[in-house]
Structure 1
């Protein structure tokens, strides 16, 4: 099995109460009383209390275009990536030159060379480190990235692999877009990064780490749902695609997939001792909880993360995994855990853990 050696999450430097963000976006994006009312209602019902942003709030008034926003993504994102990766390696007690593979994921900016390539010399990764930068997975990227790390370590069981997620959602803000999906995005998403370090089963230190093992994974695309979630990309940058049917898709598909995946391993939802679920928003979490018959405690850490930092896209599930491992009491040793997320496609990714 793949062993998770460490997870480290970081947040963008500027922290604001939800009310402060609501006030700023109302002034920037809402031209009429009706639009202001919708925006304020969506912010009030998003179940988010505070968020961290890449820039001070007043700088989001600037209209610099897609290129300027992407330059900021590279600048701020590289700093957060270095902090996340260095913190995860330090927590694992591993040196940068021991890393054999880096999988990086983001859906809020574009960089070529990619962020992990720009980071390699700064943190001391080997010149022959393998790199797999991934764009387009969106919120599912943290779970899918872990699954792909596991695939690699199955074939290279003596290696060290790192997953790096950097998401600066606020830099995709479309000030001229007064659609409900854009207002929902403005109410939910925050900025942050995370890194996860994993080792294969034959790594000489695999038995030293107290982190969970990856037992199995499942990827699933749901045909005919391509317009449920994603981006439209135009001259002004990324415009959110966010269908109102998303909670119903979770009820129809994700709950059933979770049950069948667990059944393959002789498990049922009540057997899971730790749920590490992406915080897609309050309606999505309600749908997931209802479809699986979970009690309120099962998604407590996920809802707490949504309240404290918002939805960090692919980085969120890694922050919640870190919080789960640090929780008192931690999950019981040997028990099953499930890490899951949903993303554009519409798709889901499931990762069965053993604590």
Structure 2
């Protein structure tokens, strides 16, 4: 089976308390004080305490166009991508020349050549490295990227593969959009990057690594839910599509998919000792907790990540996987589940064994 050798997460250096971000967004985006109460309520109920941003707060006033924001995405994203990739390879005791495949993902900027192509020469990836840049999966891409990496290593079991996520959500700021959905996004999302290194079952160092193995995966699209989550892309860049029905969709679909997926492997939710869930938001996490009947501590690391850094889109679940491995690894041989949801509306499940 695929073995996770290392996960490394990085954050920009500009760290702010939620109240500081609330004040800055109110000053930049709300022409009328009558809307300030809604903004403050949404920021308070988000359960986010601090976030890291790629720019100092005062610099966001200067973002005047999509092109300017996207140039910053490429410039700053490359720096974070390099830190994440080199950190993960160092933790795995591997060199850039050892990497056979790089899957990169982001939904907060566009780059062609893609970020991993621009990064290749800087870090020493081989000229024949295989590259799969992914755009459009959004928050689910941390889990889906790991699943597709596993698919590849199943067919190339002696090789090394990397998943690289870079999400600079703050650069998608829509200063003229005073909708509730935009205010919710402004309350939840932060900036960050992460890289995961994995090896196939026949790699000579497979047994050396203490990370979990990937046993199985499941992908699900839910018909008729396309407007629940995503972007509308226009002259000012990425405008959030965020439906109030997301928690209900978790109740209706995701819980049953998790139970049936686990049942295929003779497991039930109480058997899972390591839950690695994307922090979509407090209501989504509450819905997941309720529909699966989880114990109180099951999503503790996910809720802590949301409080400390916000929702990092596809990078979040990788940060939480890193924290699980480092802080609270389940008992050897016990099952874990990594899961995320994203535009489509869709879910991705990854069964792990520690």
Taking structure 2 as the reference length, what is the TM-score of the superposition?
0.99
Structure 1 partner of 2:144: 144
Task: Mark the runs of 5 or more structure 2 residues left unpaired by the alignment.
Answer: none
Please give the residue correspondences for 1:328-343 in structure 2 after superposition, counting only pairs within 5 Å: 328=328, 330-343=329-342
Please give the residue correspondences for 1:1-355 in structure 2 after superposition, counting only pairs within 5 Å: 1-328=1-328, 330-355=329-354
Q: Per the alignment, in what secondary structure is the counterpart of residue 28 of structure 1? A: helix
4+ aligned runs moved over 2 Å, structure 1 = none
Q: d(CA) in 2 for partners of 1:293 and 1:216?
A: 22
Q: d(CA) in 2 for partners of 1:274 and 1:154?
A: 23
Task: Mark the runs of 5 or more structure 1 residues left unpaired by the alignment.
Answer: none
- Residue 13 of structure 1: how far off its partner (Å): 1.6
Q: d(CA) in 2 for partners of 1:244 and 1:32?
A: 24
- Residue 35 of structure 1: how far off its partner (Å): 1.2
Residue-by-residue CA offset, 1:68-95 (whole Å, 9 max, x unaligned): 0000000000000000000000000001
Q: d(CA) in 1 for partners of 2:98 and 2:192?
A: 25
Q: Per the alignment, in what secondary structure is the counterpart of residue 342 of structure 1? A: strand
Q: d(CA) in 2 for partners of 1:92 and 1:319?
A: 16
Q: d(CA) in 2 for partners of 1:181 and 1:160?
A: 40
- Residue 290 of structure 1: how far off its partner (Å): 0.2
- Residue 31 of structure 1: how far off its partner (Å): 1.5
More moved, 294-303 vs 29-38: 29-38
Residue-by-residue CA offset, 1:86-121 (whole Å, 9 max, x unaligned): 000000000100000000000000000000000000
8 Å Cα contact 2:22-2:40 kept in structure 1 = yes
- Residue 34 of structure 1: how far off its partner (Å): 2.4
Q: d(CA) in 2 for partners of 1:261 and 1:157?
A: 24
Q: Per the alignment, in what secondary structure is the counterpart of residue 132 of structure 1? A: strand
Q: d(CA) in 2 for partners of 1:346 and 1:177?
A: 23
- Residue 15 of structure 1: how far off its partner (Å): 0.3
- Residue 64 of structure 1: how far off its partner (Å): 2.2
Q: d(CA) in 1 for partners of 2:293 and 2:71?
A: 45
8 Å Cα contact 2:229-2:241 kept in structure 1 = yes
8 Å Cα contact 2:63-2:69 kept in structure 1 = no
Q: d(CA) in 1 for partners of 2:73 and 2:239?
A: 16
Q: d(CA) in 2 for partners of 1:277 and 1:211?
A: 17
- Residue 32 of structure 1: how far off its partner (Å): 1.5
Q: d(CA) in 1 for partners of 2:229 and 2:89?
A: 33
8 Å Cα contact 1:30-1:39 kept in structure 2 = no
8 Å Cα contact 1:107-1:136 kept in structure 2 = yes
Q: d(CA) in 2 for partners of 1:195 and 1:201?
A: 20
Aligned residues: 354
- Residue 33 of structure 1: how far off its partner (Å): 2.4
Residue-by-residue CA offset, 1:324-343 (whole Å, 9 max, x unaligned): 00114x21000000000000
Taking structure 1 as the reference length, what is the TM-score of the superposition?
0.99
Q: d(CA) in 2 for partners of 1:109 and 1:302?
A: 25
Q: d(CA) in 2 for partners of 1:257 and 1:171?
A: 34
8 Å Cα contact 1:227-1:243 kept in structure 2 = yes
Aligned alpha-carbon RMSD (Å) = 0.5
- Residue 320 of structure 1: how far off its partner (Å): 0.1
